[in-house]
Amino acid sequence: MELLIGVVVLAIVFDFINGFHDAANSIATVVSTKVLSPFAAVLWAAVFNFLAYWIFKLHVADTVSKTVDSEQITLVVVGAGLLASIFWNLMTWWYGIPSSSSHTLIGGFAGAAIAHGGFDAIKYAKVMPVVYFIVLAPVIGMVISYFISIVTLYICKGASPRSVDIVFRRLQLLSAAAYSLGHGGNDAQKVMGIIAAAMVASNYIGSFEELPNWVPLACYTSISLGTMFGGWRIVKTMGQKVTKLKPFEGFSAELAGASTLFATGMLGIPVSTTHTITGSIIGAGMVKRISAVKWGITIGIIWAWILTIPVSAILGALFYWAVSLFVK
């Protein structure tokens, strides 16, 4: 029981780190357009992260809990995966790299499981959609954002820049709230899936459907508190270095990101909120001109996306072997 408690605490800690690491996803656009101050923005995002508890069903959590063969899941496997994820998240946060907390969690979990039971331990039917959406999520966000921006420009044709700015400053509060709901509904659930896997492995519960109610509440609370602390290093990268945003572009990016997250959340696909909002910001920036996007920064971010799952898997395996020396 002590080991299970330790793993659950570790999972809650990861959720908190996920919150401040991915705070940039929720607030970068609304801060960079100066619609809200940094403090007001993280408070706004945290509130709607938490409200997602009452809106989203646990489709994503169920998917994550079943990415590894249940017979190969042990508390050491889960703990090692969490340690790998925390390590990668803290490292990328320190260097201001907007990597995916979702993918590092799945990669770390999978790597530890492979170290324990070989490659057959992975349920590839569950993992492969996550891999596909490394590409699809940002592309979907980019395309939707691009077309929302085009439509917005058409509707506002002839209006004064000042009136457009005023209207979209107000609308951006709604789009930021919608995105934060999607972020909470997607990211908090991934840790719920990991906790469920640990509880099943220790025979605390018999299946995912028996997950205690306090687990979702604890996860949503933790990620919301983490968001309130903010990840300012990554906010700077997302909100200033990729492209310069005006309120109508920030609105387009947030609405596109929220739409993508709501759709994938209902389908139970654990996509990266980081990838989604980055693609959406790029799409909004491309409306002005292709060169408005700082592709040198963007390519560096893409490399982080590509490396996150394999590096996290290697870290997960290393942590598994290290932890196994002390815990049997």
The DSSP secondary structure of 296-316, one letter per residue, reads HHHHHHHHHHHHHHHHHHHHH
The SS3 call for residue 97 is coil
Q: Which amino acid appears at position 305 of this protein?
A: W
Strands (E), the chain: none
Residue 317 has pLDDT above 70, yes or no: yes
Contact 42, 248 (CB under 8 A): no
Whole-number Å distance between alpha carbons of 194 and 166: 43
The SS3 call for residue 254 is helix
Q: Please report which confidence band the pLDDT of residue 239 belongs to, taking 50, 70 and 90 as the band edges.
A: very low
Tell me which of 280 and 234 has the higher pLDDT: 280
Count of beta carbons in the 10 Å neighbourhood of residue 118: 10
Contact 315, 91 (CB under 8 A): no
Q: Which two tokens stand for residue 190?
A: 């991934």
Residue 242 has pLDDT above 50, yes or no: no
| Sign of the torsion angle spanned by Cα atoms 196, 200, 206, 207 | positive
> Which residue(s) pair with 68 in the sheet?
122
Residue 200 has pLDDT above 70, yes or no: yes
pLDDT of 247: 84
Contact 219, 44 (CB under 8 A): no
Q: Which residues contact 302 (CB under 8 A, 6 or more apart)?
A: none
Weakest mean pLDDT among 23-37, 192-206, 217-231: 23-37
The SS3 call for residue 55 is coil
Sketch the domain layout of the chain as residue ranges: 2-324
Q: Which two tokens stand for residue 184?
A: 């909470």
Contact 23, 180 (CB under 8 A): no
Say what the pTM is: 0.82
Residue tagged 């945003």 (tokens)? 245
Closest to 279 in 3D by CA, of 264, 301, 246:
301
Tell me which of 253 and 297 has the higher pLDDT: 253
Q: Which two tokens stand for residue 299?
A: 């390519």
